[in-house]
Structure 1
Amino acid sequence: MAKARKKQEYTTEKVLDSLNETAYKAENFFERHSKIIIGVLGALALVAIGYFVYLKTVLEPKSEKAFTEMVQADEFFKQDSVLLALKGSPGSFQGYEQIVDEYGSTKGGNIARYKAGIAYYQLGDYASAVSMLEKFSSDDEILTAQKNGMIGNALVESKKEKEALSYYVKAAEGTNVEAIQTLYYTKAGKLAIQLGQNADAQKYFQILADNYPNAGNGEVEKFLERLKYATGGNGK
């Protein structure tokens, strides 16, 4: 018993000694490298402060400038002067392209990117529309859904139906807004039929029938009936 107690005390002392030694080494390390550690921490703090200053003094003002520049372009876009809205007028105002080039890293520049994509689409430059829209990003699920839907439209116009289908599905799945889901699940369903993917088409129309019984003023039910007949009721 006495031996066990002595062994336990010895073990405890060893643990305490080890902890003390570790603490001593840590203190000693800090003392020896305090300047480096403080320097690193200081540098990190400066980076954080620098980014905050950059955000407030550069990015945010640039974003506001982008929105200001966009006002004139938006007016021409509303008047169907799409090319002018996209290209701008040298010495007068900047178009969406120039705003993207100059302010692309800001929120305003990002919105200009979306509008430029729509302008390219309306002008029939579908490749540029896809490229521009793919670079647009947003936390807004409706804008993101519309972006994916427009990419799908541009790909269809470019005879890339298989690629377009996935974008229609992403657009429909990206939000619970009835109008958007109805539009893009319907587009996806019709395109899937065109591609001979009847089972997928049936799935998309069935989602609409389950969630929005009146979707498409009865059009959805008509497609489902045709698909059930075409697949023998088994979705093949």
Structure 2
Amino acid sequence: MANTVRNQPGVEKITVEESNPLNNIERSYEQNKKRINTILAVVVLGIVGFLAYKNLYKAPQEAKASHAMSFPQAYFQQDSLNKALNGDGQHFGFLKIASKYGGTKAGNLANYFTGLCYLQMKDHKSAIKYLKEFDAHGTSVQYPAYGALGDAYMETGNTKEGIESYMKAAGNKNDNVLTPIYLYRAALAYEMNNQPEKAKENYKRIRDEYPQSMQANETTRNLARLGVLD
């Protein structure tokens, strides 16, 4: 719609277009229609691709990996560590499952068991490698995994990393069994690292928070040895 300014002496007739927001939007869409439609198509294809990956690829991979884990886990429970790691010729071991099914939960768990195997075989550097590969967050073995990593670090003489791992392993305050164990190991490591005050803090936590634990009596003796008698 146009408005016309009336002629006045010395003033030229001017036509002014009124601004219409709907017209502006429509014009903008027409100008960018191809680009907008391309973006929408990419988004839709991305969603379809993700759903296809999840349902047609990821889910079957999870099932295969979970099934494959049953064989090396059985060997692990029998202390047949070589077969647990490398397989028996018919079934995969933890190493193969970790590499072949790395994007699955079972493949992730295979890293943990691989680390435990190497730890028991006293290959501590390999144990550290695979325990660090394991994404422990939110798993049922989160705290034991940190504890195993602490053991591996201590065996290599890396007391600092050992302490850090033990303290992470002691992160579940509601666990009356594992938490005092790892607090105690961290306390001993603090003493080895010439940090007696830190060791005392851990011993006191065990004494005060976990008095029924197996570590409580030994903790009291260690505190007395460090000069804490109250």
State TM-score, norm by structure 2.
0.84
Alignment equivalent of 2:93, drawn from 90, 95, 100:
95
The answer to whether residue 122 in structure 2 is matched with residue 143 in structure 1 is no
Following TM superposition, by how much is the alpha carbon of 1:89 offset from its aligned partner in structure 2, in angstroms?
A: 2.6
In structure 2, the partner of 1:28 is 27
SS of the residue aligned with 2:103? Answer: coil
Counterpart residue type for residue 56 of structure 1? N
1:13-162 to structure 2, matched below 5 A, reads: 24-90=23-89, 92-140=90-138, 142-162=140-160
What is aligned with 2:8? Answer: none
CA contact (8 A) 1:141 1:175 kept: no
Query: How has the CA–CA distance of structure 1 residues 24 and 204 changed in structure 2, closer, same or farther, with 3 Å as cutoff?
Result: farther
Distance 2:168 2:211 in 1: 21
Q: Distance in 2 between matches of 1:21 and 1:83?
A: 77
Q: What is aligned with 1:177?
A: 175
Report how many aligned residue pairs link the two structures.
213
Fraction of identical pairs, as percent: 28
Q: Which amino acid aligns with 2:135?
A: S
Cα distance in 2, alignment partners of residues 221 and 24 from structure 1: 83
Q: Counterpart of 2:177 in 1: which secondary structure?
A: helix
- Give the AA of the match of 2:105: K
| CA distance, structure 1, for counterparts of residue 20 and residue 95 of structure 2 | 65
Structure 2 portions without partners, runs of 5+: 1-17
Match of 2:203 in 1: 205
Aligned residue type for 1:29? S
Counterpart Cα distance in 1 of 2:185 and 2:122 = 20
Which residue is 2:220 aligned to? 221
CA distance in 1, matches of 2:125, 2:20: 67
TM-score, normalised relative to structure 1? 0.82
Across the aligned residues of Structure 1 and Structure 2, the Cα RMSD in angstroms comes to: 2.3
Deviates more, 1:166-175 or 1:188-197: 166-175
Aligned partners of 1:88 and 1:95 also within 8 Å: yes
SS of 2:135 mapped into structure 1:
coil
Q: In structure 2, what is the Cα distance between the partners aligned to 1:74 and 1:88?
A: 10
Where does the alignment leave 5 or more consecutive residues of structure 1 unmatched? 1-17
Q: Is the 8 A contact 2:210 2:216 kept in 1?
A: no
Measure, in 1, the Cα distance between the counterparts of 2:139 and 2:77: 24
Displacement of 1:38 in angstroms is: 2.2
Structure having the higher Rg:
2
SS in 1 for 2:217: helix
Does the Cα contact within 8 Å between 1:142 and 1:175 map onto a contact in 2?
no
